[in-house]
Chain A
């Protein structure tokens, strides 16, 4: 929670993050037209999306200065989220045909 003294600093940060997000969005589209191999395109697109997502989470959602309880809850969420993404893929590896 910010107080009056540092809110001006916060607002300056929001504007920098806003500019960065716009630049990264243009970059996302530009990279998509480079015709990289599928794995390369996926890796680059997800990397840029991860950077953009981190900026939103850290600054707009104030995660950069949050309490331990929130970090612990999110660590648990991320653990299960990764499991959720990996489990179906790992159990279905023989069906992968187009990558």
Chain B
């Protein structure tokens, strides 16, 4: 059976089902991170000895990661724009750059985590509430980056076959994957100052 409204909008909403599904999923993600941000606020305002993120965490690495993630968001929209222009070769280049941006982010995150684990004494989630919040929020965010990389890589590899048969559907799918990737960027935009700079 053909799935309806995958590459043409539903008459009542004016949207494809994929786009509605993606936005509703992102709404649930907002609540997931919202719950963790709320926990962070409660723990922070109740602790007179809450450490200064600037003294414990690595600002230059986090700054670099912000730049990497913002840049990969740009390559993601450029990948989608290339498909709208029917330029599949350019799409592949921009989409690959987006995945590489994710790889770069994870490598920097690995360096950052390693420094915490090899610190004397080690800075672990069990060290204090600040480190627990830091590892929970950045860990969950890094997991989202990994998921986004997998989705984006799929559209360079096996998922790309759809371009030959249903180009509009493929373009929409890349747009929806982009929504998720930009959401991951958006979460980091708030995580960076909240954890590292305040």
Partners in one complex: yes
| A residues adjacent to B (C-beta < 8 A) | 1-4, 7, 10-11, 14-15, 17-18, 21-22, 25, 28-29, 32-33, 38, 41-42, 45-46, 48-49, 52-53, 56-57, 60-62, 67-70, 73-74, 76-78, 80-81, 84-85, 87-89, 92, 95-99
- Total contacts A-B at CB 8 Å: 148
Contacts of A85 in B (CB 8 A): 34, 37-38, 41
Is B1 engaged at the interface, CB distance under 8 Å to the other chain? no
User: Smallest CB-CB separation from B33: which chain A residue?
Assistant: A81
Interface string of B48-60 (1 = CB under 8 A from A): 1110001000010
Q: How far is the CA of A68 from the CA of B9 in the complex (A)?
A: 13
Contacts of A87 in B (CB 8 A): 38
Q: Is the CB of A49 within 8 A of B190?
A: yes
Contacts of A76 in B (CB 8 A): 27
Is B194 engaged at the interface, CB distance under 8 Å to the other chain? yes
Q: Is the CB of B189 within 8 A of A52?
A: yes
16 CB-based A-B contacts, threshold 8 Å: A28-B197, A32-B197, A33-B54, A45-B197, A57-B186, A67-B14, A73-B23, A73-B27, A80-B34, A84-B31, A85-B37, A87-B38, A88-B42, A95-B42, A98-B45, A98-B50
| Contact for B70 among A15, A22, A42, A98, CB less than 8 A | A22
Q: Is the CB of A25 within 8 A of B20?
A: no
- Please give 13 more A-B residue pairs, beta carbons under 8 A apart, in addition to A2-B81, A32-B197, A46-B190: A3-B84, A22-B67, A32-B193, A45-B197, A56-B185, A56-B186, A60-B185, A62-B175, A67-B13, A74-B27, A88-B42, A96-B46, A97-B47
Contacts of A70 in B (CB 8 A): 15, 19-20, 23
Is B173 engaged at the interface, CB distance under 8 Å to the other chain? no
User: Smallest CB-CB separation from B46: which chain A residue?
Assistant: A95
| B residues adjacent to A (C-beta < 8 A) | 13-15, 19-20, 23-24, 27, 30-31, 34-35, 37-39, 41-42, 44-50, 54, 59, 63, 66-67, 70-71, 73-74, 76-78, 81, 84-86, 172, 175, 178-179, 182-183, 185-186, 189-190, 192-194, 197-198
User: Smallest CB-CB separation from B54: which chain A residue?
Assistant: A32
